[in-house]
Amino acid sequence: MRRLATAAQMRAMDLHAVEQAGIPGTALMEKAGAAVAAEAADMLAASGGRRVLVCCGKGNNGGDGFVAARRLSEMGFEARPVLFGGREEVRGDAAEALRALEEKGPSVRSARTGEDWRESGRWDLIIDALLGTGIGGPAHGAIEEAILWMNGSGVPVLSVDLPSGLNADTGTAPGPCVRASRTVTFAERKRGLAFYPGRAFAGDVRVADIGIPEASAESAKIRTWLYETGDCGGDLPARPANGHKGTFGTVFLLAGSRGMTGAAVLSSLAALRSGAGLVRLNLPGSLLTVIGASAPEVITDPVPETPDGSAALSAEPLLAGRMKGPKAAVLGPGLGRNPETAHLVRRHNADCPCPLVLDADGLNAFEGRSGRLKRRAGETVLTPHAGELSRLTGAPAADIAADPVAAATAAAAEWNCVVVLKGGPTVTADPSGQAWVNSTGNPGMATAGSGDVLAGFIAGLISQGAAAPAAARCGVWLHGKAGDLAAAKRHPRSMIAGDLLEFIGGAFSAAEPADASP
């Protein structure tokens, strides 16, 4: 797993490297600028170009640009550095880089006086070294004009550390933001590069090692990670060749209501497709024939129902007995909002003896009663989207969506559970404060039933022996990867939730090494 750092954590790393490890700031800047020059040379080689416009701000991001311009000039490229600001405003390590550039490389022009840099036909590549991780608001003045010009120039753009105008922590842009073809970021990937729209603004992201020691990285106490292909393979539960259905566990589901049987079917089949040995679906008795025709592999157990076709509170003693054998349980997909059914969910949330996944109406049952989520002693996974988490916490959905890592980690700590905050991308957090940002998925998955499939995937992995945090983050990755495979085969606009079931096998193949299968 690769770290995702905030701007404050990066500043802490830099400070530790300079003050504790004794690495001069100028040395870090030299390596950063060299990495930018190497990426620029790679992009120019692909296009056969030679002319580079280097747009530099007055801070350290601009300092990296000064080094890159000098290096590119030494490599034989025509590099034109332009400073957006006064020379007197450039200080510290950036001032040293500016002096070295003017001693050994091309002269630096001022954006205030030289307008020829705006002639996009002159340039084969633009390096964006205007603004870094320290932005406090929207760009304005000459820098705003430069960002807008870059975006309309039609010239490939290489951004330094971050696309200028992007918030390093959230991936949002308070004003105009550079749309880069490639971004070279330093030491650690910035958190904002993992979230939209930053993920789209950044283009192809490359992480460059600039010599910050591991001890400096550890000192920043980064606890947010990008969850990728190799990570999922390590989290998958073992699949012994001599196993049988009992080896891989039984998943208990309380799901479905009149008009919502599809959610129960999708979640049940997802648990089976993820590798569970057996799935027992508990649902109102009048719906059994519908389920049997749709999912013959699923064992269906009837429960008493309310007049509107949802599970009745009188099912409580029956369900208590049925919950004793399974290795994992799911409460919620398609259950409905009947108050009696919600009461039943709250009772079994506290009493369920196995790890529990609460999804959809299972979460809605705790609206206004979220304190009761703390009553569970066993492992629990909550799978809300921003709207559902808003109803549970009272926080505005827009605030949750703006900083999903903070929202998910706070909820996980408050309720002592794993929180899977669904979105683009999905964030998984555990009670210790760790969070994993998923790297898979696409807009085609924004369709009814997709969340029901995810709940089943997670429960199925738990039933096979995965701990709740591993099952959650791995299930999210598999879910997204199945969606990516479906989008490639179909089209994101035409995808339905059932496609995720069809392509989950391909997702497992992508996650596991070729020699891992029995």
User: What is the helix (H) or strand (E) element at residue 128, kind and residue range?
Assistant: strand 125-129
Q: Is 127 left (phi over 0), alpha (psi -120 to 50) or beta?
A: beta
pLDDT digits (tens, 9 = 90+) for 197-249: 999 999 999 999 999 999 999 999 999 999 999 899 999 999 989 999 999 99
What mean pLDDT comes out for the span 73-98? 94
In a domain, 460, yes or no: yes
User: What is the helix (H) or strand (E) element at residue 10, kind and residue range?
Assistant: helix 7-19
Q: Residue 79: its pLDDT value, please? A: 95
Structural domain boundaries, residue 64: 2-222
Instruction: Tell me which of 201, 222, 243 is where a domain ends.
Output: 222
Encode 250-280 in three state secondary structure.
EEEEECCCCCCHHHHHHHHHHHHHCCCCEEE
pLDDT digits (tens, 9 = 90+) for 446-471: 999 999 999 999 999 999 999 999 99
Question: Using 50, 70 and 90 to split pLDDT, how confident is the model at 518?
Answer: very low
457 and 378, same structural domain?
yes
Indicate the number of domains in the chain.
2
237 and 123, same structural domain?
no
In a domain, 517, yes or no: no
Q: Residue 116: its pLDDT value, please? A: 65
- Rounded to whole angstroms, how far apart are CA atoms 241 and 258? 40
300 and 201, same structural domain?
no
Pairing between β-strand 427-429 and β-strand 418-421 as defined by DSSP bridges: antiparallel
What mean pLDDT comes out for the span 114-142? 85
178 and 78, same structural domain?
yes
Q: Residue 14 belongs to a domain with what CATH number?
A: 3.40.50.10260
**pLDDT for residue 113 is more than 60:** no
pLDDT digits (tens, 9 = 90+) for 467-515: 999 999 999 999 999 999 999 999 999 999 999 999 999 999 999 866 5
In a domain, 210, yes or no: yes
What mean pLDDT comes out for the span 114-133? 85
507's tokens:
């997702």
**pLDDT for residue 517 is more than 50:** no
Chain mean position to CA 479: 13
507 and 382, same structural domain?
yes
- The answer to whether 124 touches 47, Cβ cutoff 8 Å, is yes
- For the entire predicted model, the pTM comes to 0.93
- Rounded to whole angstroms, how far apart are CA atoms 494 and 488? 11
What's the mean per-residue pLDDT of the chain? Answer: 94
- Rounded to whole angstroms, how far apart are CA atoms 386 and 380? 18
End-to-end CA, the chain: 26
Instruction: Tell me which of 222, 256, 271 is where a domain ends.
Output: 222
451 and 372, same structural domain?
yes
Instruction: Tell me which of 158, 188, 222 is where a domain ends.
Output: 222
What mean pLDDT comes out for the span 397-424? 96
Of 291-295, 333-337, 363-367, 385-389, the least confident: 291-295
Q: Which of 261, 284, 236 is nearest to 460 (CA)?
A: 236
Q: Residue 254 belongs to a domain with what CATH number?
A: 3.40.1190.20
